[in-house]
Structure 1
Amino acid sequence: MGRRRARARGVGGFGALLCLLLALLSAGWITRDLFAAQRPSDLWWVWAAVPTRPDGARVWATTLLDPVSGLGCLLAAVAVLRRSPSAPCALGAVAGVTLLFRAPPLWNLGAEGLPGAGAGAREWALITAGVALVVSGLLLVAASAGRSGADRRESRLRRAPAVVALLLLACSGLILAAWQVYSLRELGWSAYWGSVVGDTYRALLQPPVNWTLLSLALLSLVSAVGAARRSASLRPLGLLTASLLVAHGAAVLAAEQRAGLIGHFRALAPRTQLDVATAAFTVLAGLVVLLALARPAAGAAATRGTVGGRLPPGYAPPPPPSDLPPNW
């Protein structure tokens, strides 16, 4: 058992290094875009899907997914270094999200799908996407090894936060999925499938818009299943999904506010009103889920006591009383 735990700690340290590598890749591209922007605020508006031209002949490279996923990688690395019980699950959550959002650039950039992007920029973006996918596969291996060497006692989410997270994540996933069904009926299968796997986009590392929305719907529903089971193992995925929902909704609301739509909400077309309402709901739902899942699991405090009738290592039974009872 001790050898297995030592091996799991070694694999966990390797997983922390991989998370730091992913975070550095995101930070490098964000820094590159900051230098390409005429003003730092331009990068935010690009992330919010507001058309903004970079300085010179460059093209944008990042989206709002990059800072959110980069922060998630840093937090996963911290969890591993602190030997948190949720560290293997955090590695798995980071790996899954990275696989979803770094796969599309491989076929889009290979087909030169972004007009104006030079061959050098496309090659570096392709290398970044390929490295991210390889690192994600290694993270899944590290997460599996960490689970095999971890304590088998499974803690559970508290009932009230789990119910709140279940309802909000399920509603968010179903709403996003319903919008995809609406887009399918409106565009037809051929045009819709093109928007999922190869739509026009503004940044080198940007997945197609409907691919992103479908991925958010999938992550929300998977996290809702974990909340329904009160499984603490899916808690890191729920936190990361809630962060992505907040980022997505905030970007949409910022773009609509800049366009002057929110100030004239009653005069908008019903579909636009639904767009605004959906964005506001995802922001609110994501914030509430973050607060609900941030609380420790129900079994966290219980692990300090006895397990299976045995005291945990480092604990000793209380000493006998100094004065024995009469006629002892």
Structure 2
Amino acid sequence: MGRRKARARGVGGFGALICVLLALLCAVWIAHDLLVARRPLDVWWLWAGEPVRAAGSAVWATTLLDPVLGLACLLAAVAVLRRSPAAPCALTAVALATVLFRAPQLGSLTTDTLSGLEPGLKEWALVTSGVGLVASVLLLIAASAGRGGADQRPGRLRFVPATLAALLLGASGLALAGWQAYWLRELGRAPYWDSVIGDAGAFRSLLQPPENWYLLSLALLALVAAAGLAGRRASARPLGMLAAALLLAHGLAALAAGQHAGLLGRFHALATRSQLDTVTVAFAAVAGLVALLALALAGGRNGPRGPADGPGRPDYAPPPPSDLPPGW
């Protein structure tokens, strides 16, 4: 038993190291964009979706996903180092998000349409995506080993905050999925599928997933987290917090871009579709914030491993024969 726990701690430490590596890659690419920006604020407007030009002939590399994923990786590493019962679930959440948001670049970065880039820049971006996918597999292995060596199992989440977060994440995921169904009907199956797998000629950043792929992935994360939280499963809490943070960042960035373009000031004059889109991103921002706060308060009491979790000593055992009272 002790040997298994020691092996699990070693694998967990390896998982923390991988998380730090992924966070470091995000930080390096963010530093690259800050260096090529005419003003540091241009990087924010790039993340918000504004068409901002980099200095000279340089190209952008990051999106809003990079700071959010980088922070999530650091928090997962901290959870592992603190031997939190939620650490394996945090590693799993980071791995799933990394797979979803890094996989498209393996296709878009290998096309011949991306030309005129700085020497080696496309190759390094491709390496980053490949490392992210390999690291995700290793994180899933580390998470599995961490579950096997844990001393405690996370208790069930508190009813009210877990239910609130499930409702908000589920509603946000359904709203995003509804917009994808709308675009599928408007564009047709083939053009819509092209927008999902990506058009290399329409990219803003090297590490940017296709817009509809990103929204579909965000909807999927929110719905999966909502399903787990509806059952008050503590294992769904890290994924729920990550999905809530992504929804909050997506909504705030879209609202900031709309305000910068003057759209929010003339909301009533917008077309109905634009109004609904604005309402959707505003709801995503509010839902993400409230769900994040609710999940921060939803933690249940951790319980020791019982017979269902593996061999262990029962909570109660009768006294040994030598200690029995007279006349027993």
Whether these two folds match at TM > 0.5 is: yes
SS of the aligned residue for 1:255 comes to: helix
Task: Name the counterpart of 2:310.
Answer: none
> 1: distance between equivalents of 2:315 and 2:128?
51
Task: Name the counterpart of 2:320.
Answer: none
- Deviation digits for residues 57-85 of structure 1 (CA, Å, limit 9, x no counterpart): 11000000000000000000000011101
Task: Name the counterpart of 2:224.
Answer: 222
Task: Name the counterpart of 1:126.
Answer: 126
1:309 aligned to which of 315, 318, 322: 315
Q: Is the 8 A contact 1:114 1:202 kept in 2?
A: no
Deviation at 1:132, TM superposition (A): 1.0
SS of the aligned residue for 1:25 comes to: helix
Q: Is the 8 A contact 1:250 1:283 kept in 2?
A: yes
> 2: distance between equivalents of 1:187 and 1:119?
37
> 1: distance between equivalents of 2:288 and 2:314?
38
Q: Is the 8 A contact 1:23 1:71 kept in 2?
A: yes
Task: Evaluate the alpha carbon distance shift between residue 260 and residue 115 of structure 1 in structure 2; reply closer, same or farther with a 3 A threshold.
Answer: farther
Task: Name the counterpart of 2:142.
Answer: 142
Q: Is the 8 A contact 1:114 1:204 kept in 2?
A: no
SS of the aligned residue for 2:120 comes to: helix
Task: Name the counterpart of 2:4.
Answer: 4
| Structure 1 stretch displaced more, 147-156 or 46-55 | 147-156
Q: Which amino acid aligns with 1:309?
A: D
**Match runs of 1:232-247 below 5 Å:** 232-247=234-249
> 2: distance between equivalents of 1:219 and 1:17?
24
Task: Evaluate the alpha carbon distance shift between residue 211 and residue 113 of structure 1 in structure 2; reply closer, same or farther with a 3 A threshold.
Answer: farther
SS of the aligned residue for 2:204 comes to: coil
- Cα RMSD, aligned residues only: 1.6
Task: Name the counterpart of 1:201.
Answer: 203
- Deviation digits for residues 202-243 of structure 1 (CA, Å, limit 9, x no counterpart): 000000000000000000000001111100011000001100
Deviation at 1:114, TM superposition (A): 4.0
Per the normalisation by structure 1, the TM-score is 0.91
Q: Is the 8 A contact 1:242 1:290 kept in 2?
A: yes
Deviation at 1:161, TM superposition (A): 0.7
> 1: distance between equivalents of 2:18 and 2:213?
25
> 2: distance between equivalents of 1:30 and 1:299?
38
Per the normalisation by structure 2, the TM-score is 0.91
Task: Name the counterpart of 2:321.
Answer: none
Q: Is the 8 A contact 2:26 2:67 kept in 1?
A: yes
1:38 equivalent to 2:68? Answer no
Deviation at 1:172, TM superposition (A): 0.4
Deviation at 1:152, TM superposition (A): 5.8
Task: Name the counterpart of 1:170.
Answer: 170
> 2: distance between equivalents of 1:138 and 1:11?
10
Task: Evaluate the alpha carbon distance shift between residue 161 and residue 186 of structure 1 in structure 2; reply closer, same or farther with a 3 A threshold.
Answer: same
Q: Which amino acid aligns with 2:139?
A: L
Q: Which amino acid aligns with 2:130?
A: G
> 2: distance between equivalents of 1:115 and 1:57?
12
Structure 1 residue ranges without an equivalent (≥5): 312-328
SS of the aligned residue for 1:110 comes to: coil
Q: Is the 8 A contact 2:85 2:152 kept in 1?
A: no
Q: How many residues align?
A: 308
Task: Evaluate the alpha carbon distance shift between residue 242 and residue 115 of structure 1 in structure 2; reply closer, same or farther with a 3 A threshold.
Answer: farther
SS of the aligned residue for 1:297 comes to: coil
Task: Name the counterpart of 2:251.
Answer: 249
Task: Evaluate the alpha carbon distance shift between residue 286 and residue 25 of structure 1 in structure 2; reply closer, same or farther with a 3 A threshold.
Answer: same
Task: Name the counterpart of 1:324.
Answer: none
Deviation at 1:115, TM superposition (A): 5.3
Task: Name the counterpart of 2:109.
Answer: 109
> 1: distance between equivalents of 2:238 and 2:154?
15
> 1: distance between equivalents of 2:316 and 2:256?
56
- Deviation digits for residues 2-40 of structure 1 (CA, Å, limit 9, x no counterpart): 111111100000000000000000000000000000000
Task: Name the counterpart of 1:29.
Answer: 29
- Deviation digits for residues 30-52 of structure 1 (CA, Å, limit 9, x no counterpart): 00000000000000000011001
Q: Which amino acid aligns with 1:255?
A: A
Deviation at 1:169, TM superposition (A): 0.7
> 1: distance between equivalents of 2:316 and 2:71?
39
Task: Evaluate the alpha carbon distance shift between residue 228 and residue 104 of structure 1 in structure 2; reply closer, same or farther with a 3 A threshold.
Answer: same
